[in-house]
Amino acid sequence: MRLRKLAFLLAVVGLVCLPAPVYLPALADATSPPPKVSNSYRAEPVSLANHSDVETIVRRHGRSVSISVHQVSHRYSADEYRAPNETRETLETAMRNGTARTTAAGAQADLRAIARNNTYVHDAYAEREQYYRFSVRENGSVVTARNATLGRVANTTVERSAYSYANLSPAARETVDGVLRNSSDGDFGYRPRVNDAFVDRLPALVEKEGTLYSITAYAHVDDFGFGAALVVGLGVAGVGAVLLLVGGAVYAIAWWRE
């Protein structure tokens, strides 16, 4: 009778252990901190007085004030614009000639929307990436484009997009400080967690104590492979399988003895 109880106990424990690869990772996910973002970030001091830094600011952060005409197309943004092809053609004509006109109502609405969100327009795939300050008038039917220097684009970018460290929340400052502390030549960068403050604003320009920093992605990290909880779960499942076998053997011995 004792052997049968032992066999039953071994079988119960074994059955509990078998699904460990399922419930242990789930338990680990529920109790562990949020995962880290897939990019590591580093900060680089930049200055509007330095021409190479001006180029860096425009290249990394200029999209906050400028749009590339290639983005206005069915291929890239068919759902965002009413008449993307007509809108792009109007912008390209304005960039070539200084002004352009359209009678398409959809293009006029698109141009008004673009002008609300962007001060400059450029062609990222042109042989020479020239920026233009553009505006719309007559309800979007007329577009004007004038050459703009990189310095002017960089200044506008900093004025409108740079964050003041002093005005950030304590949690956001902690994220920025984490990036700054891990931005020397020998550092791999800083990987904040997905729910950390300020993560949703990266990459970004941040001004701290009179220094302007360009924070950008430094490296991409893929967190793949078997998690520790899954490995442990597989081991526990293996133990459970052994316990079931042993329990079956003990039950067979008990039955034979009777």
Q: pLDDT by residue (tens digit) across 120-178?
A: 999 988 877 899 999 999 999 999 999 999 999 999 999 999 999 999 999 999 999 99
Residue owning tokens 């066999």? 7
pTM, full prediction: 0.73
How much is the mean pLDDT over the chain?
A: 86
Per residue in 191-218, pLDDT (tens digit) is 999 899 999 999 999 999 999 999 999 9
What is the torsion angle, in degrees rounded to the nearest 10, for the CA atoms of residue 61, residue 65, residue 70 and residue 74?
A: 120
pLDDT tens-place string over residues 11-50 = 677 677 777 777 666 676 666 666 788 899 999 999 999 9
User: Which residues, in sequence order, are CB contacts of 72 under 8 Å at separation 6+?
Assistant: 81, 84, 87, 88, 91, 110, 114
